[in-house]
Amino acid sequence: MANTASAKQRIRNSARKSKFNQLHRSRARTAVKATRIALSEKDSAASAETLKTAMSTLDRAAGKGVIHKNNAARRKSRLAKQLAKLNAAKK
């Protein structure tokens, strides 16, 4: 258990920041999962819409420092590549 006032404050801050980070990380993961499900169902329109949401959510998480900006860029790139592959297969 923390003895000093500053250590107690750090515990409070860590708990608050952890909750904040978990919220944004969870939203990003949910959006990415929804996009992957739409892609697996080969629904081009739904995939494009969910991809737009996932990209926005990943950008927001990266902007808040919850995930690294390159991590967000990598995930967005992979999802976009899968959508492009799906669209190419349909033509």
Q: How many residues does the chain have?
A: 91
Residues 39 and 26: their CA atoms lie apart, in Å, by 20
pLDDT score, position 58: 98
25 is in which domain, residue-wise?
A: 5-90
Count how many domains the chain has.
Answer: 1
pLDDT score, position 16: 97
Residue 61: C-alpha distances to residues 18, 84, 86 (Å): 13, 24, 27
pLDDT score, position 73: 98
CATH of the domain at 12: 1.20.58.110
If DSSP codes are grouped into helix, strand and coil, which group holds residue 7? helix
Instruction: Please identify every stretch of the chain with a pLDDT value under 50, giving residue numbers as ranges.
Output: none
- pTM: predicted TM-score of the whole model, two decimal places: 0.88
pLDDT score, position 2: 83
